[in-house]
């Protein structure tokens, strides 16, 4: 939440108050009035012909009934400008002329100054490497090398490629001459400390500046031009660079109109793809994606095509990365490059058009998984049927969508030469295990999904959903006062929803703006918080449509008594277990008293 990120809540509130959601949305979407309360327009987040994107001026929220995106004015800017929470706040602050105070803390200011200086040093180093490559005789061999690999002058300029001279002090002297402080330079990651002083880390290498999503140079990668080792070296971590946090070329790919990202392994792959006109390519700069990279990708798109190298280690890395991407809510397909080539090599040999065809034919996730199973179960050209059926059924049993399960069961059956019912039966038998492991009951399933952040269908309304109850209370605070059991924070699942409940029930100022305030609390850059914001926006539109709330008031009451009863029963079981395990001392008396108290309360529920 904003307050925890150094911006006082009062400023966040002021920014929201001074940015009317209708005025902000109308800068991007033409809205028209279709119902008494709400405005509608064509959704800017998915393509459609009839408007399903709605804005509720009174509540200061939006929701799309087509693609289920929703939230407050800050979420809207995050979605449409593809920026994080803080950047969205800054944009809105600028728009309304609200001044965001810099944190007073001296440590913070020092850190910020140091970061600014590091960006300047990196930019100066990148400019030096670029001039070495393009204008200096030192860079002759390097530019010949890049030309041999088919890299054009335009690409060199776009990606700021450069050359680190075969010299121990070339960059050091240059940056010292530009007036950078020796001590700051030493900590920049561009130099190493030798006996006779600092020396250049990158020597006789082609240089790839690594940009962050905003286009600032945060680090470098350097590649040799011959067979010497190591082939690549990278900048160490610094105040502006953490490994596994960035996607190379995202600063360019985020502008592409494809609505998807293609994630490949190395710089050269991403660069070759951009040059071939595949402008949504980014590189992971490693053999597997990290969770933060998956999160970063998800901030830009739901659709991710993974194009890791097709060698053995590449396949393993791709499999791990796929699961990480799916867990962050991405829809994933996998690029199949024939003959184990990487994208760079494939484009050089076959041209851009053939590569575009490969992108179009990227395999759906389940096809790819089953293909990997098949490859692993094939020995000397023969499919090991027993091994294949076992792993394939396991993979299918883990798939939550029953239609996909059935579709692919038929394919697996075909391969095995058995009737498809036999495979379906086996999958369903194994699924029982999966479902038991995941816990039973719709509520627990859904909560578990929320907590693990797995993609889900929009939730069914009340009475099974605590978030719905929370939206209800935020829409109509009198309802909470009227309820037979008055809701407490503990009645809501731990995590984001519990935090929201605390604020709503306390009529906290943070939830002061009613639903828009509540949705603001659902969180920011975090995908999981966003899902909750989307759902809360949808539910509040539903509650609106209901008009008369007395019909669901009874449902709210019985839901809450069920939750309360479950909690008492669980507590009772814990105390009984504690006593059975030999719990003694003064605590034992207290526990016994609590037990009596619980029994009294439980009797009331029965009555
Ligand atoms: Zn939409």
> Model pTM?
0.60
Domain ranges of the chain: 2-96, 104-241, 244-361, 367-438, 563-606
Distance of CA 581 to the CA centre of its chain: 44
CA–CA gap between residue 81 and residue 78 (Å, rounded):
6
For ligand 1, the distance from its centroid to the CA atom of residue 534, given in whole angstroms, is 11
For ligand 1, the distance from its centroid to the CA atom of residue 49, given in whole angstroms, is 11
For ligand 1, the distance from its centroid to the CA atom of residue 51, given in whole angstroms, is 9
Q: Helix, strand, or coil here: 223?
A: strand
- Asked if residues 162 and 135 have their Cβ atoms less than 8 Å apart, the reply is no
For ligand 1, the distance from its centroid to the CA atom of residue 181, given in whole angstroms, is 51
CA–CA gap between residue 501 and residue 466 (Å, rounded):
10
For ligand 1, the distance from its centroid to the CA atom of residue 471, given in whole angstroms, is 21
For ligand 1, the distance from its centroid to the CA atom of residue 481, given in whole angstroms, is 36
Say which residues have a Cβ less than 8 Å from residue 315's Cβ, sequence separation at least 6.
308, 372, 375
Q: Which residue has the tokens 């050209």?
A: 381
Q: Hey, how many other C-beta atoms are within 10 angstroms of the C-beta on 220?
A: 24
Q: Give CATH for domain 244-361.
A: 3.40.1360.10
CA–CA gap between residue 446 and residue 515 (Å, rounded):
22
Distance of CA 95 to the CA centre of its chain: 27
Give 573-601 as a 3 state SS string: HHHHHHHHCCCCCHHHHHHHHHHHHHHHH
Domain 2-96 and domain 244-361, same fold? Reply is no
For ligand 1, the distance from its centroid to the CA atom of residue 461, given in whole angstroms, is 20
Q: Which residue has the tokens 């100022």?
A: 509
Note the pLDDT tens digit of each residue in 398-412: 887 788 888 999 999
CATH of 2-96, one of 3.90.580.10, 1.10.4080.10, 3.30.2010.10, 3.30.200.20: 3.90.580.10
For ligand 1, the distance from its centroid to the CA atom of residue 361, given in whole angstroms, is 26
What does DSSP assign to residue 75? H
- Asked if residues 518 and 471 have their Cβ atoms less than 8 Å apart, the reply is yes
The two tokens of residue 224 are 């040799």
For ligand 1, the distance from its centroid to the CA atom of residue 20, given in whole angstroms, is 20
Say which residues have a Cβ less than 8 Å from residue 342's Cβ, sequence separation at least 6.
264, 265, 266, 269, 309, 310
- Asked if residues 72 and 90 have their Cβ atoms less than 8 Å apart, the reply is no
For ligand 1, the distance from its centroid to the CA atom of residue 32, given in whole angstroms, is 16
Say which residues have a Cβ less than 8 Å from residue 433's Cβ, sequence separation at least 6.
397
Give the chain's radius of gyration (CA, Å).
29
- Asked if residues 452 and 464 have their Cβ atoms less than 8 Å apart, the reply is no
Q: What pLDDT score does 309 carry?
A: 63
Say which residues have a Cβ less than 8 Å from residue 95's Cβ, sequence separation at least 6.
19, 24
Measured at the CA of 249, the angle between CA 245 and CA 251, to 5 degrees, comes to 85
Number of H helices, E strands in the chain: 26, 18
Q: For 104-241, give the CATH class.
A: alpha beta
For ligand 1, the distance from its centroid to the CA atom of residue 67, given in whole angstroms, is 4
The two tokens of residue 540 are 């509040």
For ligand 1, the distance from its centroid to the CA atom of residue 266, given in whole angstroms, is 34
Residue 46 half-sphere exposure toward CB, CA atoms < 13 A: 15
For ligand 1, the distance from its centroid to the CA atom of residue 68, given in whole angstroms, is 6
Phi/psi class of residue 381: alpha, beta or left (left: φ > 0; alpha: ψ in -120 to 50)? left
Q: What pLDDT score does 449 carry?
A: 43
- Asked if residues 80 and 44 have their Cβ atoms less than 8 Å apart, the reply is yes
What does DSSP assign to residue 526? -
CA–CA gap between residue 470 and residue 484 (Å, rounded):
16
For ligand 1, the distance from its centroid to the CA atom of residue 53, given in whole angstroms, is 6
Which phi and psi (to 5°) does residue 14 adopt? -65, -40
- Flag residues of the chain having pLDDT under 70: 1-6, 34-35, 102-105, 108, 287, 309-315, 317, 433-464, 507-518, 520-530, 547, 551, 607
CA–CA gap between residue 69 and residue 57 (Å, rounded):
17
Q: Helix, strand, or coil here: 354?
A: helix
Instruction: Strand 260-264: give its sheet, edge to edge.
Output: 281-283, 260-264, 303-306, 331-334, 363-364
**Long-range pairs of 29-36 with CB within 8 A, sequence gap ≥ 24:** 29/53, 31/55
């Amino acid at each position: 939440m904003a307050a925890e990120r150094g911006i006082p809540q009062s400023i966040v509130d002021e920014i929201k108050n001074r940015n009317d959601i209708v005025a902000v949305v109308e800068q991007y979407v033409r809205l028209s009035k279709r119902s008494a309360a709400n405005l509608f327009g064509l959704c800017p987040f998915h393509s459609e012909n009839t408007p399903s994107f709605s804005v509720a001026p009174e509540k200061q929220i939006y929701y799309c009934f087509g693609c289920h995106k929703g939230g407050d004015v800050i979420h809207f800017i995050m979605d449409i400008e593809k920026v994080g929470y803080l950047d969205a706040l800054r944009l809105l602050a600028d728009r309304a002329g609200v001044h965001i105070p810099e944190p007073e803390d001296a440590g913070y200011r020092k850190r910020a100054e140091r970061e600014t200086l590091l960006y300047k040093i990196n930019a100066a180093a990148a400019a030096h490497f670029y001039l070495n490559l393009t204008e200096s005789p030192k860079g002759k061999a390097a530019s010949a090398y890049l030309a041999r690999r088919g890299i054009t002058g335009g690409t060199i300029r776009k990606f700021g490629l450069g050359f680190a001279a075969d010299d121990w002090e070339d960059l050091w002297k240059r940056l010292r001459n530009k007036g950078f402080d020796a001590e700051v330079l030493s900590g920049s990651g561009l130099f190493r400390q030798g006996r006779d002083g600092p020396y250049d880390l990158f020597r006789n290498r082609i240089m790839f500046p690594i940009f962050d999503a905003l286009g600032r140079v945060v680090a470098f990668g350097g590649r040799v031009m011959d067979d010497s080792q190591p082939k690549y070296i990278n900048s160490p971590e610094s105040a502006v660079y953490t490994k596994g946090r960035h996607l190379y070329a995202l600063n360019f790919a985020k502008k592409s109109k494809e609505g998807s990202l293609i994630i490949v392994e190395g710089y050269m792959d991403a660069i070759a793809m951009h040059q071939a006109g595949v402008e949504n390519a980014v590189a992971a700069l490693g053999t597997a994606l990290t969770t933060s990279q998956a999160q970063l990708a998800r901030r830009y798109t739901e659709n991710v095509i993974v194009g890791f190298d097709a060698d053995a280690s590449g396949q393993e890395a791709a499999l791990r990365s796929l699961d990480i991407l799916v867990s962050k809510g991405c829809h994933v397909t996998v690029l199949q490059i024939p003959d184990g080539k990487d994208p760079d090599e494939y484009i050089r040999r076959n041209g851009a058009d053939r590569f575009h065809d490969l992108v179009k034919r990227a395999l759906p996730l389940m096809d790819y998984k089953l293909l990997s199973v098949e490859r692993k179960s094939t020995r000397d050209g023969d499919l090991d049927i027993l091994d294949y059926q076992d792993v394939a059924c396991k993979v299918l049993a883990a798939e939550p969508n029953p239609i996909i399960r059935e579709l692919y069961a038929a394919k697996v059956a075909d391969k095995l030469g058995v009737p498809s019912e036999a495979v379906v039966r086996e999958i369903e038998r194994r699924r029982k295990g999966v479902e038991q492991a995941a816990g039973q009951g719709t509520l627990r399933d859904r909560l578990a999904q929320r907590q693990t952040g797995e993609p889900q269908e929009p939730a069914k309304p009340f009475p099974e959903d605590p978030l719905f109850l929370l939206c209800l209370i935020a829409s109509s605070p009198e309802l909470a006062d009227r309820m037979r059991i008055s809701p407490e924070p503990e009645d809501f699942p731990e995590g984001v929803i519990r935090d929201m409940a605390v604020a709503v029930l306390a009529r906290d100022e943070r939830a002061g703006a009613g639903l828009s305030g509540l949705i603001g609390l659902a969180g920011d850059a975090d995908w999981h918080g966003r899902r909750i914001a989307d759902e809360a926006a949808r539910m509040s539109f539903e509650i609106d449509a209901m008009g008369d709330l007395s019909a669901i008031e009874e449902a709210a009451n019985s839901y809450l008594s069920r939750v309360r009863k479950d909690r008492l029963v669980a507590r009772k079981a814990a105390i009984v277990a504690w006593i059975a395990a030999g719990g003694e001392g003064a605590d034992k008396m207290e526990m016994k008293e609590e037990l009596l108290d619980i029994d009294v309360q439980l009797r009331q529920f029965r009555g």
